Amino acid sequence: MNKKTFWRVPVFSLIAGFLCYYSYAPMMSVLGKITEHGLFLAYFPYVVYFVAVLVIGGLVFFRNMTRKEIFLSASILVVIGVMILVAEWVALHQFDRFLEGSMFWTLGNWWSSLIVLLGIRIIPNAWFCSFVACFAPYLFVLFGRRE
């Protein structure tokens, strides 16, 4: 594994997260004019972003990588995401405050928000659902080639 492929999943995921976050408001302003309420409309952008990031990332950016390379590259995001989530949990429960610096990370992984939103409807525990969402980059492994 070379350095270029090692950082490919984290860089793609963070760029995709920021693009999704900053395109959300314009998309909702258009969709909001179509209908004013409804659960489908509320989840529609998240589904579009989630599927688009997975398909574009998997078929365009990661198709030449092996599953092992994608797994190792995605592990960077997973480890950092879990560490930040634990730090946020500790800061909130021990010091009664959020970590403002972790907002950058949250925006970078915004494309996987669908996991949290659907998870909360099944298991009403935001911390657990956020923990599960930290592992979303491993879904790119499905698009890797066999060794």
pLDDT > 90: percent of the chain? 31
Tell me which residue range forms the domain holding 131. Answer: 3-143
Please state the pTM of the whole predicted model.
0.84
Show the tokens assigned to 103.
């907002």
Q: How many domains does the chain have?
A: 1
66 phi and psi, to 5 degrees? Answer: -80, 165
Mean pLDDT computed over every residue of the chain:
83
User: In terms of pLDDT, which residue wins out, 107 or 22?
Assistant: 22
pLDDT > 70: percent of the chain? 82
Residue 135 is predicted with a pLDDT of 94
pLDDT per residue as tens digits for the range 31-82 = 665 555 555 567 778 888 899 999 999 999 998 999 999 999 999 999 998 9
Section 6-28 average pLDDT:
85
Of 85, 82, 78, 68, which is closest to residue 13 (Cα–Cα)?
78
Distance, in Å, from the CA atom of 74 to the CA atom of 147, rounded to the nearest integer, reads 17
User: In terms of pLDDT, which residue wins out, 113 or 41?
Assistant: 113
**Per-residue confidence at 18, pLDDT binned at 50, 70, 90?**
confident
Neighbours of 5 (CB within 10 A): 16
